[in-house]
Amino acid sequence: MVAIVSHDAGGAEILSAWVCFQSEPYCLVLDGPAKKIFEQKLGYVNNFSIEQAIQAADWVLCGTSWQSELEKRAVKLAKSRGKKVVSFIDHWVNYTERFMFEASMILPDEIWVGDPDAEKLAKDLFLDTKIQLQENPYFRELKIKLEKFNRFCENSNNGNILYVCEPIKEHALIQYGDERYWGYTEEDALTFFLKNISFLVSDIKEIRIRPHPSENPSKYQWCTLNTRLNIVFGGKKSLLEEIVMSDIIVGCESMAMVVGLLANKRVISSIPREGKVFGLPQVGIEHLRNLVNYQFKPELNA
């Protein structure tokens, strides 16, 4: 039996999909956004403590979180009990921070990754840890669902934009003690997008803002003060449904942007000029700051 330990949404999507494609018995240790994600796929779930699950399991499979130390505590406890422990990385940025616990690096016995880009990043950073490339179960799940959606839906080209949010300043504050460590906040990125949206599309039908699962939706209510744009809030439908309904997907470095590429949507990063270097390796993602800089190049050089 395997103990599955998960807190953040990205890891929960991968691990819940992994469970659905496997027949191995499991027990669950869930907290935060992971609870809702597992319940949506599995129905009612019996939630155990870390101690109970690791004691009962033969091995442990964890996500990786920046919001919580749940998975890090599970890695440390599993290793102290002599149980094999594996961490499945769900993203392409901040790898080192995912394993920092109480000022030390706590690494599992193996790290699993779901694509060659992540494999290279992990191998470059974690030289003494086994890195194993796995089929990404979340992407496999999405492709199956997309095939069903695409039978009934076509790209509308009607100017529907989905903006996917991330709690950037909270992450920066927790990890580095500075909300502006990366040179921008989620509010900066969203403001940059709204001010420069005309560089993406001239005819805008609707902008749907989807808060991150860990965020309070009221956090972005200030956007509705912009009366020239038709802004609504998403999150009531699944991420994939809202992506299929949209023509353009915009965000900073969200996993949802990669899902947008899988759905053959136009995908844009809204990290502003003063922000960090873009971290996702997918070449199909455009950059709003490049589009704006290109348009304004004569004025900037004047």
Two tokens at 284? 């199909």
Two tokens at 54? 């690791």
pLDDT at residue 297, rounded to an integer: 41
Of 260, 150, 261, 156, nearest to 205 by C-alpha is: 156
pLDDT at residue 298, rounded to an integer: 38
Two tokens at 24? 């191995």
Sign for the CA dihedral angle at 203, 206, 212, 215 comes to: positive
pLDDT at residue 202, rounded to an integer: 82
Instruction: Please give the single-letter amino acid code of residue 18.
Output: W
User: Please, what are the domains in the chain?
Assistant: 2-138 (3.40.50.2000), 146-300 (3.40.50)
Structure confidence at residue 66 as a pLDDT band (50, 70, 90): confident
pLDDT in tens, 283-297: 999 999 999 865 544
* Span of 69-78, 133-142, 227-236 with lowest mean pLDDT: 227-236
* Span of 16-30, 37-51, 96-110, 141-155 with lowest mean pLDDT: 141-155
Given a contact cutoff of 8 angstroms between Cβ atoms, the answer to whether 261 and 282 are in contact is yes
pLDDT at residue 140, rounded to an integer: 95
The packing angle between helices 186-195 and 168-176, to 10°, is 150
pLDDT at residue 217, rounded to an integer: 81
Whether 137 shows a pLDDT value over 80: the answer reads: yes
pLDDT at residue 270, rounded to an integer: 98
pLDDT in tens, 163-184: 999 999 998 998 889 999 999 9
Mean pLDDT computed over every residue of the chain: 91
Instruction: Please give the single-letter amino acid code of residue 248.
Output: I
Two tokens at 104? 């030390």
Two tokens at 236? 């009531």
pLDDT at residue 301, rounded to an integer: 34
pLDDT at residue 182, rounded to an integer: 95
pLDDT at residue 151, rounded to an integer: 63
Distance CA 212, CA 252 (A): 12
Given a contact cutoff of 8 angstroms between Cβ atoms, the answer to whether 267 and 286 are in contact is yes
